[in-house]
Structure 1
Amino acid sequence: NGILYAGTWGFGIFKSSDNGATWSEFNNGLNGFLTIQALTAYNTTIFAGTVGGGLYKSTNGGDWTKALCGYQLVWSLDSKSGAIFAGTYGDGIYISTDGGNNFTKLASSPVAFVYSIAIDGSGKVYVSSVANGVYVSADNGNTWTAVGLGGYNVSSLVVDPNSSNVYAGTKAGQMFKISGNQNTTDIDDVNGLPTEFSLSQNYPNPFNPTTTIEFSIKEAGNYSLKVYDMLGQEIATLINNSINAGTYKVAFDASKLSSGIYIYRLSGNNINLTKKMILTK
């Protein structure tokens, strides 16, 4: 309804009805829990995640009341039609499918410490954890797939409203662009363009069942990244399209493959780079 809300660290919540020209305090009902980690809107209700006080909600601009969420450290929030997601610092992800009246813990939460949640235009739910990178779910959190960026300390996720891109920010000041498709997820480091072609060793290696492959290309063109067995038979095509210059990370899921040594090859624009990886089950 044209009202802006801002959460602060220690001073609660403020709102503005004039595009941010002036702000007024909006803390009635928060019971002194004034460190706000996250805010999201669902229909006419605003939800606020607090440090120590759990989850609060305000409907139609009224005072804050306690929402039924079973954990007191709510670090991240986002919503879409039919579902509200709450990420906690220590107890995984909670979901409400009844407009925020009740929240239940997702048994499938991929991580316990959820720093950020973002939902793209297609309804995919992305979550980040500082130690374990980014995960995505296309079925309301029933199953999750590792996107990558493990060890990058991803502390924030933002959706581009004009595309399907999700941007991941790290504590070190890096920014990555994540664009999903049916087969894999590409991650583009938007901080600078590489000056040479390179194909890095996958990590972890050995792995079971997922691993991340990183590569850099210095000029735009048509490229493919494929996986082969030791007999030279093609196992998977991770990328086969035109992409811009940049550094990319691709998650490879080998859950349907047997243990062994596999080869991955980056080809295009007169380059052909190859490395080996070890799947151990």
Structure 2
Amino acid sequence: MDSIQKDVLPGLNSVWFVDEMKGWAVGNSGKIFGSTDGGTSWSEASNIVSSNLNTIEFIDQDNGWIGGNNGVVLYTQNGGSVWSVSNVGNPVAIKKVKFINATTGWAISDSLRIYKTLDGGATWTFLTSTFPQIKLLEDAVFLNERNGFITGSYYSVIGYKYFLVKTTNGGVSWSFGDSFNGHEPSALSFVDSLNGFIVVDYFNIHKTTNGGATWIVGTVYDRTGITSIYMFDHQTGWATGREGTILKTIDSGSTWRKQLVPVQDEFSSIMFVNSNTGWAIGQNNTLIKTSDGGITSLNGKNEVVELPRTFNVMQNFPNPFNPTTTIRYSLKEAAYVKIKIFNLAGELIRVSDQGFKQTGTHQFIFDASGYSSGVYIAVVEAGNMRKSIKMMLLK
């Protein structure tokens, strides 16, 4: 990686580059930033809306779209010189905008309400509400005017259920695809109508060569948690994860190698404009760039070179879980660590004395075999600092 920026773009949520030099970034409170030098410097566009902006996508140099809260969709037909404001007609948070050409596209909310446009985003039609009542969007992709996929989850009386659904009529109706034997599908990336990749259980990547009819089980096993995937072509792609993880394949997903990354942030997305030039978004408003496809190793070592800058407790993985889950925490400086587990009633049910831990990232495996289903609170105490996370045990 050849550059890193932190806190240059406050409230950063999504970045899209149309070539090696020109790109756009969107964030909270209606922030839109533009760059003409590959992301080295950014200028803020005039605030058009006040809603948080969640996602941005272009299909060429001219046509791009932004999805935001309160049903907001912005669109440009001149490379971002002018942004027009549209609305899907409901106060939902638009998390994905997917277009196959300058006129036809879909806007998808975090609650899986799907809207379609045939005029480039000026007007929108609500398509479906046939999904279960309580649901969450993970990812979406449309291959052409007819075929698309969505991954997500919903809560039932027996806990969270995860799904991959497919449409063959442009989103009018959806059918459940591969169940993955109860495992959780999340991020998607297709290079054409037949060849695609999907992240399963946040640590494995499966592949299809027949448009999702069947999936080939991959060999990736990264317990830090894979958060996104981007395939540039049939052979080359990248996947991002927690704790500064970026993986790369050059053999169509047969093998994935960890790249050297200058930060330990959790990366939420990655994109490339060619096989060498790409950007990844991390937590804390971090944006990193590579101009050589990413460095796979340095002096024969595949390791992150930067120590944690803050005390942080990552979300347990997996979550929900049964019966074990991993709690990871990072220390800016050495400290004596204890981990306490509480039930939702506030009762202390377990204490784990971790002892004196050095600067760096550590983990604790919580075994809940003797406990009933429900929400639990894990509190990590490091010296005089403490942070907590919620965990869901489903049996």
Of 150-159 and 92-101, the range deviating more from structure 2: 150-159
1:241 is aligned to none
2:98 is aligned to 78
C-alpha distance in 1, partners of 2:191/2:46? 30
C-alpha distance in 1, partners of 2:166/2:27? 28
1:147/1:10 CA distance change after superposition, 3 Å: farther
Alignment of 1:159-238 (within 5 A): 159-160=190-191, 164-169=194-199, 173-179=202-208, 181=210, 184-192=213-221
1:56/1:176 CA distance change after superposition, 3 Å: same
Quote the offset at 1:15 in angstroms. 2.3
Q: TM-score, normalised by structure 2?
A: 0.41
SS at match of 2:137: coil
Alignment of 1:17-166 (within 5 A): 17-30=36-49, 32-33=50-51, 35-41=52-58, 44-52=62-70, 54-60=72-78, 61-71=80-90, 72-81=92-101, 82-90=103-111, 92-107=113-128, 110=131, 113-120=136-143, 124-131=147-154, 132-148=162-178, 152=183, 154-160=185-191, 164-166=194-196
C-alpha distance in 1, partners of 2:124/2:145? 23
C-alpha distance in 2, partners of 1:28/1:58? 15
SS at match of 1:100: coil
Quote the offset at 1:118 in angstroms. 1.4
1:122/1:87 CA distance change after superposition, 3 Å: closer
2:321 is aligned to none
1:26/1:103 CA distance change after superposition, 3 Å: same
Quote the offset at 1:29 in angstroms. 0.8
> Any unmatched runs of 5+ in structure 2?
1-17, 155-161, 223-252, 256-395
1:12/1:190 CA distance change after superposition, 3 Å: farther
Quote the offset at 1:24 in angstroms. 2.2
Quote the offset at 1:53 in angstroms. 5.2
Deviating above 6 A after TM superposition, structure 1's stretches of 4 or more consecutive aligned residues are: none
Amino acid in the other structure paired with 1:37: N
C-alpha distance in 2, partners of 1:183/1:156? 14
> Any unmatched runs of 5+ in structure 1?
194-243, 247-281
Quote the offset at 1:85 in angstroms. 0.7
Amino acid in the other structure paired with 1:165: N
Q: TM-score, normalised by structure 1?
A: 0.55
Amino acid in the other structure paired with 1:129: G
- What is the percent sequence identity of the aligned residues? 18
1:104/1:121 CA distance change after superposition, 3 Å: closer
Q: Is the 8 A contact 2:194 2:212 kept in 1?
A: no
Deviation by residue 1:129-186 (Cα, 9 ceiling, x = unmatched): 134322122321133232235765544322336x84333346x632433415279221
Deviation by residue 1:79-114 (Cα, 9 ceiling, x = unmatched): 103521111122521110122121111136546543
Root mean square deviation of aligned Cα: 3.5
1:12 is aligned to 31
Amino acid in the other structure paired with 1:118: V
Deviation by residue 1:27-66 (Cα, 9 ceiling, x = unmatched): 5312x22x32221225633211113352222331234332
Q: Is the 8 A contact 1:67 1:101 kept in 2?
A: yes
Q: Is the 8 A contact 1:49 1:55 kept in 2?
A: yes
Amino acid in the other structure paired with 2:93: L
C-alpha distance in 1, partners of 2:120/2:219? 36
Q: Is the 8 A contact 1:76 1:115 kept in 2?
A: no
1:183/1:119 CA distance change after superposition, 3 Å: closer
C-alpha distance in 2, partners of 1:7/1:113? 22
1:64/1:108 CA distance change after superposition, 3 Å: same
Of 12-21 and 150-159, the range deviating more from structure 2: 150-159
Amino acid in the other structure paired with 1:20: G
1:190/1:96 CA distance change after superposition, 3 Å: farther
C-alpha distance in 2, partners of 1:136/1:185? 13
